[in-house]
Amino acid sequence: MYKAIIDEDTYMSILEERHSQELFDLINSSRESIRQWLEFPDKTNSVDDTKAFISRSLNRFANNNGYWAGIWHKGQIAGSIGFLRIDWDAQRTEIGYWLGSKFEGIGLMSKACNVLVVHAFNDLNLRKIEIGVATNNIKSRAIPERLGFTQEGTIRNYEQLHTQFLDRVIYGLIKDEWQQQNA
């Protein structure tokens, strides 16, 4: 998947080095809202940091082990989504995502996640998708819940973020369940 249409105003495409400045500007403009739940904004202090991230993502893509795509809405980069890794033996993947603050609340991420779900099950022939979210991140939790994922459990003290430990809830979707929901 190099480019996928989400709706008439929105598409996603594999991040490339040429997107480095645009992605950095989005991270920089939404730094405070993103860093509430994710650590990468604190590690993204220059365009070179964004270039390095995109380079790592392209290497994972080349090695068939996941990738990150940008989400563009009305000509502007709005966020990013991707397969964090792909376990081909277990036929499963995990989706990660984030949006710039001015693009929240308009349904972009639910639609983008749905595109990746369809891609994972139909094109990659995977059998399970997981999404892990900080337990207090209600907006982000709504996405897998809206898409029919099952809450599978909570990992306590999963990560330390800004001097506090966050629990993480894990959602899962099995291909057979998804097919039944969409029959």
Q: Looking at the predicted structure, is the pLDDT value of residue 159 above 90? A: no
* pTM > 0.95: no
* Percent of the chain scoring above 90 in pLDDT: 86
Q: What is the pLDDT of residues 106-118, one digit of tens each?
A: 999 999 999 999 9
3-state helix, strand, coil in the chain (%, to 5): 40, 35, 25
Q: What is the pLDDT of residues 18-38, one digit of tens each?
A: 999 999 999 999 988 888 888
Return the amino acid letter for 28. Answer: N
The H or E element that residue 28 is part of is helix 20-29
Q: Which fold has domain 3-181?
A: Aminopeptidase (3.40.630)
Contact 7, 111 (CB under 8 A): yes
Q: What is the pLDDT of residues 133-146, one digit of tens each?
A: 999 999 999 999 99
Q: DSSP strand E in 25-90: where?
A: 67-73, 76-87
Cβ neighbours around 57 below 10 Å, total: 19
Q: Looking at the predicted structure, is the pLDDT value of residue 1 above 60? A: no
